[in-house]
Amino acid sequence: MRSLAVALAALLLLSSVVGLSVADPVAGDSASPAADGTPAITPAPEATDGATDAGQLGGGAPRQIANGTDRYRVLDLQSGSVTGNSIDRATIDLGPSLGLDSNSTAARLRTLEMVERVEAADGDTRQRFILGELNRIEQGVITLQSRQRAAITSYGDGDISGKQLLIRLAQIDETAEELERRRARLSALAADTEDFAVDQSRLAAVERELDTFSGPVRTYAVRVLAGDAPPTRFAIATGENSVVLTAIRGERLIREAYRGDRRRRTGNSMDPETALNITAESYPSIWDRTRNSTEVVGSGDSFRVSVSHASGTLTAFIDSGSGDVFKEFQTRQVDSMYLGPTRTNVRDDLRLTVNRSYAGAPFQVQLTSASTGAPVDANITVGLAEEERSDFVGRTGTDGVLRTLTPREAFTVTAIRGNAVVIVRVDPAPVPRVYADDADANETSTGSLTPGE
């Protein structure tokens, strides 16, 4: 493992509960090789047959990336363990939204009642109230674990839709946020209680566990359901007690992944330096090339490492028992994400070019006139290659470009302008995985693109 500076390590080890921010310059030149062996980024040859490596989302000079994937790694499901996946469109839904508001209000009232009850007591009674409330919060965490597992299982079994899974995860997220507010208030009340102290590692363990029920995609889903954000497509994939969610929010990709199989909750000897080293090894391109600042918080059985970098943010949750990243949040500027090979097809004077990306990440559609090269505004649909159904995902607009989420299976992209139709069939690129052993043999190559239809 990489060793951090001795002074930093000493500072980190001063306390078992740590919140440390470290500012870092951008490490290394942007054209130097990454620590994980990714080649330097160089201009790709000019596309002539629709199968060469191609450019970035949002235009710019063509780029060439190893294996046709983005160099920034992500935590993903094990290839053979996916129980369900879909891309679902969520929009304003007053039923779930009102339910979320009602549940949130009730939970906040419960917190206020708890505060009033503790503040009105003194002596041994106050101490008993505090310990009793902490026990209830810990029981609430166990209940949320069961609810999340049940929701993931129901989706994988086909009993609920992707939108229904989003609603259930959003409800869990809101409950976890209120339990965290309650935990923080309880910690402050305990600190103000004379001759009484609560085990800080116990409070920290609850805080870290509650972190795992939240995420940028769940939070955004709450806004979409409430009508505070526009209708959005969400990519969803589940495995056993595991889930990956992505969405495009404005000009950013937001992503969260939870791997229950990499969570042990049995270790209590990890230190903050080890958590930083695990993050550095798991995300070498972020750590070595673009990192701006780093924060590590945690104790006992898990740590949270937050990294700000040139094109987004990373939050990695490290399990002390397994020594693995078991949950991550990532945000990325869409125009910073590199794309793999293109596939182009021409028909009815429409030239449709598709840059592929990996499952859940944005791929790019570009539509131009075959005769003039001018951008064309047209409807775009996406459907799985093995299915007849195709869903409308948007229009290419005045610049002829559209970005949308990549399915996990081979898919077709169709451009429709009046009576003119052109179709391209594409395979998703390999996922740039944190753990190589999560991939199957088919993901070790660059993959191939099937001819346009």
Q: What is the pLDDT of residues 321-368, one digit of tens each?
A: 899 999 999 999 998 887 778 999 999 999 999 999 999 999 999 999
**What pLDDT, on a 0 to 100 scale, did the predictor assign at position 115?**
79
**What pLDDT, on a 0 to 100 scale, did the predictor assign at position 104?**
64
Closest by alpha carbon to 335, among 359, 313, 311, 307? 311
**What pLDDT, on a 0 to 100 scale, did the predictor assign at position 326?**
96
**What pLDDT, on a 0 to 100 scale, did the predictor assign at position 384?**
93
**What pLDDT, on a 0 to 100 scale, did the predictor assign at position 102?**
60
DSSP state of 231: -
Q: What is the pLDDT of residues 175-199, one digit of tens each?
A: 898 899 989 888 888 888 888 888 8
Residue type for position 397: G
Question: What band does 290 get if pLDDT is binned at 50, 70 and 90?
Answer: confident
Q: ∠ CA 72-18-132 to the nearest 5 degrees?
A: 115
Question: What band does 292 get if pLDDT is binned at 50, 70 and 90?
Answer: confident
Question: What band does 96 get if pLDDT is binned at 50, 70 and 90?
Answer: low
Query: Which residues have C-beta within 8 Å of that of residue 218, sequence separation ≥ 6?
Result: 166, 169, 170, 172, 173, 245, 256
d(C-alpha 158, C-alpha 155), whole Å: 5
d(C-alpha 291, C-alpha 50), whole Å: 35
Mean pLDDT of 126-149: 92
Residue type for position 11: L
DSSP string covering 401-449: EEEEEPPSS-EEEEEEETTEEEEEEEPPBPP-BS-GGGS-GGGSS----
Q: Is the confidence at residue 313, as pLDDT, over 80?
A: yes
CB crowding 398-418: b at 16 or more within 10 Å, else e: eebbbbbbbbbeebbbbbbbe
Q: How many residues does the chain have?
A: 453
Cα–Cα distance list, 235 to 33, 84, 166, 238, 409 (Å): 31, 11, 10, 10, 12
CB count within 10 Å of CB 291 equals 24
Mean pLDDT of 20-46: 31
Return the higher-pLDDT residue of 32 and 302: 302
Question: Domain boundaries in the chain?
Answer: 1-25+271-321, 92-226
Q: pLDDT exceeding 70 applies to what percent of the chain?
A: 78
**What pLDDT, on a 0 to 100 scale, did the predictor assign at position 92?**
74
Q: What is the pTM of this model?
A: 0.80
Question: What band does 239 get if pLDDT is binned at 50, 70 and 90?
Answer: very high
